[in-house]
């Protein structure tokens, strides 16, 4: 089997034209270099170097090998560089998931753009889904990281990193009576008789529970008349007049027709967190670099 050291020896001899000079170039003695050439010729069953009165030169077979040997050695050097860059997190693949509301917060697209610009050798795959689906994909190693809207609980195989917290807003149809004075905050208790449209609990998890808890603390249980599979679908139902909803403030970026947003008061704990979830023990260099970039960016925005 051919060895890279044989090819390196052969290329050095061919390029220098003298075995002594090739030995000096490679930092070795002449006899071992000669043996490498002889072993290569024996391996290939052909004479590769023509011995001249002064020096050597490649034979026809040697010239044919020289071109291929240079390509093989270049590829080997490139492979080593690929491995080094991968070990530093500069090459590889990263699958990142996010909820629809997380994607609308400027932090998420901003940090994804920064990561892609910084680590151009990393292929980034993105997937949008509900929190439950994202966590399942993490557990089954279909995703490497996910931006979710609630802290983890009871999932020992996963870890979550708190990133930021944003307020929740009331979303109303434009023709709703409470939409008329949209400039003033509205006490949460005002919604006691309203019909609510919420995203399914198995999709929204923490946000769904946070809304229920906040309403109960305000003295009522919300009347949920419709649930939607995605938060964006929730807003479509609100615009259609099916009810009101409470959503993260960043959802305003959708700027959908038929919806008015109002601030809420007397619900201090009604907020929408953003967390980065990853698998415990996943120490891949690419993921490590991404996690560090997310944490650094979050600290800078705090």
How much is the average pLDDT of 285-302? Answer: 89
Residues 284 and 147 in one domain: yes
How much is the average pLDDT of 214-221? Answer: 94
Percent of the chain with pLDDT over 90: 43
User: Residue 205: its pLDDT value, please?
Assistant: 57
Q: How many residues does the chain have?
A: 302
**C-alpha span between 246 and 150 (Å, rounded):** 15
Higher pLDDT, 180 or 185: 185
Decide if pLDDT at 257 tops 70. yes
Among candidate residues 230, 170, 239, the one with its CA nearest the CA of residue 199: 230
Last residue of a domain, one of 87, 106, 130: 87
Write the CATH number for 81. 1.10.10.10
205 φ, ψ to 5°?
A: 45, -110
Decide if pLDDT at 83 tops 80. no
Q: Scanning the structure block, which residue is given the tokens 């060895």?
A: 3
Task: For residue 277, give its domain range.
Answer: 91-163+273-301
Joined together, the tokens standing for residue 201 give: 């609990």
Higher pLDDT, 132 or 263: 263
Residues 291 and 144 in one domain: yes
Residues 106 and 152 in one domain: yes
Last residue of a domain, one of 28, 60, 87: 87
Give the model confidence (pLDDT) of 224-248 as tens digits.
999 988 888 899 999 999 999 999 9
Residues 179 and 266 in one domain: yes
Residues 71 and 60 in one domain: yes
Last residue of a domain, one of 23, 56, 87: 87
Highest mean pLDDT among 1-10, 107-116, 222-231: 107-116
Residues 238 and 282 in one domain: no
User: Residue 200: its pLDDT value, please?
Assistant: 76
Decide if pLDDT at 130 tops 90. no
Residues 184 and 278 in one domain: no
Higher pLDDT, 301 or 198: 198
User: Residue 69: its pLDDT value, please?
Assistant: 87
Residues 266 and 285 in one domain: no
Strand pairing class (145-148; 271-279): antiparallel
**C-alpha span between 158 and 47 (Å, rounded):** 61
Count of domains observed in the chain: 3
Residues 116 and 180 in one domain: no
Write the CATH number for 103. 3.40.190.10
Decide if pLDDT at 207 tops 60. yes
Q: Is 292 helix (H, G, I), strand (E, B) or coil?
A: helix
Residues 138 and 287 in one domain: yes
Residues 70 and 126 in one domain: no
Residues 51 and 129 in one domain: no
């Amino acid at each position: 089997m051919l060895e890279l050291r044989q090819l390196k020896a052969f290329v050095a001899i061919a390029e220098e034209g003298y075995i002594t000079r090739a030995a000096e170039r490679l930092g070795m003695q002449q006899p071992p270099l000669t043996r490498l050439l002889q072993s290569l010729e024996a391996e290939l069953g052909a004479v590769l170097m023509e011995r001249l009165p002064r020096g050597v030169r490649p034979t026809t077979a040697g010239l044919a090998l020289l071109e291929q040997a240079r390509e093989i050695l270049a590829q080997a050097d490139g492979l080593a560089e690929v491995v080094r860059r991968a070990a530093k997190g500069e090459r590889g693949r990263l699958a990142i998931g996010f909820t629809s509301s997380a994607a609308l917060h400027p932090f998420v697209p901003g940090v994804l753009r920064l990561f892609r610009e910084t680590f151009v050798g990393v292929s980034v795959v993105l997937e949008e889904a509900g929190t439950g689906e994202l966590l399942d994909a993490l557990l089954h190693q279909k995703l490497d990281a996910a931006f979710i809207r609630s802290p983890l609980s009871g999932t020992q195989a996963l870890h979550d990193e708190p990133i930021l917290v944003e307020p929740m807003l009331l979303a109303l149809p434009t023709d709703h009576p409470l939409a008329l004075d949209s400039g003033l905050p509205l006490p949460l208790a005002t919604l006691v008789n309203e019909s609510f449209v919420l995203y399914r609990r198995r999709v929204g998890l923490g946000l769904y529970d946070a809304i229920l808890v906040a309403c109960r603390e305000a003295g009522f249980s919300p009347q949920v008349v419709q649930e939607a599979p995605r938060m964006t679908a929730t807003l479509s139902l609100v615009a259609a007049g099916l009810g009101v909803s409470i959503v993260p403030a960043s959802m305003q970026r959708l700027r959908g027709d038929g919806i008015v947003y109002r601030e809420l008061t007397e619900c201090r704990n009604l907020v929408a967190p953003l967390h980065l979830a990853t698998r415990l023990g996943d120490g891949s260099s690419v993921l490590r670099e991404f996690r560090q970039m997310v944490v650094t960016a979050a600290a800078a925005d705090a």
